[in-house]
Structure 1
């Protein structure tokens, strides 16, 4: 039952009761009429709003687009690594003895062949003297045996010396020669051991800060090193890269259009730049020196060794760095802004494009790697495609759109394509200031237009309610008067 039905019933009831309640019935009728007016106005407003909404839904949404343009792209890999000394040598004594002197400072730079330690060499000097005396003795015996042998040889023709004596002379001569050779070897060994009492640097570099002090007794080939020397100019930086990225890179090379800068035939072409943990950049570029030919079973990665010049010793062994390796150059690379690429339910990268008929389509992409704020796309985008970069949240596949050319500045923000561009700047990845135009803006306008008739209906309703109130007051007083007359008559 509606309010108008109630009002009609009230009017009939008032007539049946007679004059005393006519005024009250009039009040009820006016109220019912007001309710009908309100209902009509509301329905009219709703229908008007619906019509406006329907009209706004047909309006094409504005989206910001950029045109895909292939260009030469340098393909890089961002990797993490650690600094490794170019050479490392642990200094150990080759002969035993007491350390009598240390000839370097802790952490000092030394050159190859510099004397680091001196051992007590008196016993080794005595061994050299003894070996020299033995050599002289054997050399004298050799001279005597040689003369005896030559004498017997001269007497062979006259048969004065027997063959047995000649053979003995030859044997003695050869034995003397061997004794001299042994004496020479012993002398060389003694001299070498004497030289080993001066412990020298095997490589150039910097000595560690925990050397042995004079007074310590050392032995030949002991386990503990006397000092450690590290050569850090040049220096190695070992980076680790996943095998998956390696496979992607090889696949790009097979497809063509990519010039590799790494490999046995391209040594030195690939440049490497590194950044420190604080974000600062090392000023000198490095080169790839070697790469592992196997993949780690535990980490599924392989190691790439790079070499850097380190004249100021800014790179120290064990230091953590981030590197960017230049792997290849793509002659016709396609870069799409990361803000325009999203993921579908299967985790695949997708982007929206505007077709020639002005409708939107979503494509699945194949992404190679990230370059700055862009993705390097190998499949799914072509030259001349119109990529939606602004307003992606307000359109769906098949939606009719109005394109607004925009550009993306160096900070990754969307800007008008020119001074007369319609698109206003917006943050990267968000909606522009014009995002309210289109269906949403039309809906807002329809709400305003729908509100106007509703307001008018409310005004009319208020006027009718005021009249009803006045009539009610009059009816009430009339009813009261009738009641009083009836009371007097009684």
Structure 2
């Protein structure tokens, strides 16, 4: 091999080795710089504090006091103005039934007919006895008329005349007795026709045509209810009754009743009866067993919507002066307790338990827990925590929420 070529190859090998070393040094520098940058970046992230989220913006209102009315409800039972049992007053076979169950009848309308033949015969017998008594009186009168002149002329002794007059009185008394028997027989005959004592609705008919009925039967022929007006009876406890009396002016219960506002009847489907009623009676004494007193309200019922035996609730309005009101939407219930979130001067919220005295529309009537002037959060309270800072938002709608009923 040419020596020149050998020398050139050695020079080329040295250059390649040098290039490789240079490339490796560059790679090490780049890797070192990258690692250093990562370390510096990591340290910078650790030392940097994350930005805190801004406090939530929530509507806040000041609690105010106002005159308001709350509703108190009491279970009530409904009866017609007249609820009467229709019973037979004589015994016999039920010959005819003229009405059907649930029918509306008018006063004096015939409802039932009991077989009258035995009672008609009793009347005939009583009339016969009356006629016999009348004939006996005629004979007694004739005897007295005959003996009177004879005694005056001293033909016979006055003893016979006195005896005749006694017989005359007995005959007159027998006539009166016979007339009473006729009257009794006529009454019993009249009892065979059973009529409606009042206008109203017929109840169930347990006795059918052909049944044997008696005045001593446990079960009546039917029930008749006059429901053109209905009575709703409900009870007030002693405390409620004291508050009830104290709320209205008047020296007597009668004076207070006349000044009572109308009351509402809430039916079993939770709908209010379309017509209001009037309290017109308070019982004379408390029930010793229940410690409650019975009160009666009267409701018009021209369309017959209400019937005897209906149930419902009487809703009474109770007036409260300077009451503390809080919207129900501004409260949260936890473990059978109700809370509101009050706002301090530094905009921190505190969960405050409240005591509810009643409801007025969409508001709670507050007995204890907050006072007039306290700031409370109106909405968005589900995720609030004790001591959390908020940004209060006040608007013109706040007063409308508080005062809405």
TM-score, normalised on structure 2?
Answer: 0.72
Q: Which residue of 2 aligns with 1:41?
A: 41
Measured after TM superposition, the shift of residue 79 of structure 1 is: 5.0
Q: 1:181 to 1:153 in 2, by over 3 A?
A: farther
1:204 corresponds to which of 199, 208, 218: 199
Measured after TM superposition, the shift of residue 39 of structure 1 is: 3.1
1:87 corresponds to which of 79, 82, 86: 82
Measured after TM superposition, the shift of residue 149 of structure 1 is: 7.1
Task: Tell me the distance in 2 between the aligned counterparts of 1:349 and 1:260.
Answer: 35
Q: Which residue of 1 aligns with 2:375?
A: 386
Secondary structure (helix, strand or coil) at the match of 2:67 reads strand
Q: Which residue of 2 aligns with 1:7?
A: none
Once the two structures are superposed, the pairs formed by residues 251-266 of structure 1 within 5 Å of their partners are 259=248, 265-266=255-256
TM-score, normalised on structure 1?
Answer: 0.61
Measured after TM superposition, the shift of residue 277 of structure 1 is: 5.5
Root-mean-square deviation (Å): 4.5
Measured after TM superposition, the shift of residue 196 of structure 1 is: 0.8
Gaps of 5+ in 1: 1-19, 415-490
Gaps of 5+ in 2: 1-19
Q: After superposing the two structures, state which structure 1 stretch, 26-35 or 94-103, moved more.
A: 26-35
Does residue 138 of the first structure (1) align with residue 138 of the second (2)?
no
Q: Report how many aligned residue pairs link the two structures.
A: 378
Q: Which residue of 2 aligns with 1:435?
A: none
Q: 1:128 to 1:41 in 2, by over 3 A?
A: same
Give CA deviations for 1:83-131 in whole Å, capped at 9, x if unaligned: 5444333333222334444444553321222222233323322322322
Q: Which residue of 1 aligns with 2:364?
A: 375
Q: Which residue of 2 aligns with 1:235?
A: 230
Measured after TM superposition, the shift of residue 192 of structure 1 is: 0.3
Q: Which residue of 1 aligns with 2:318?
A: 328
Structure with the higher helix share, 1 or 2: 1
Does residue 294 of the first structure (1) align with residue 287 of the second (2)?
yes
Measured after TM superposition, the shift of residue 183 of structure 1 is: 1.6
Measured after TM superposition, the shift of residue 361 of structure 1 is: 4.4
Give CA deviations for 1:134-181 in whole Å, capped at 9, x if unaligned: 22433444465577679779969989746x667655654553443233
Contact 1:238–1:305 under 8 Å retained in 2: yes
Measured after TM superposition, the shift of residue 385 of structure 1 is: 3.2
Secondary structure (helix, strand or coil) at the match of 1:49 reads coil
Task: Tell me the distance in 2 between the aligned counterparts of 1:70 and 1:159.
Answer: 112
Task: Tell me the distance in 2 between the aligned counterparts of 1:41 and 1:252.
Answer: 75
Give CA deviations for 1:395-437 in whole Å, capped at 9, x if unaligned: 5555554421243699x8x9xxxxxxxxxxxxxxxxxxxxxxx
Once the two structures are superposed, the pairs formed by residues 51-70 of structure 1 within 5 Å of their partners are 52-53=51-52, 61-70=56-65
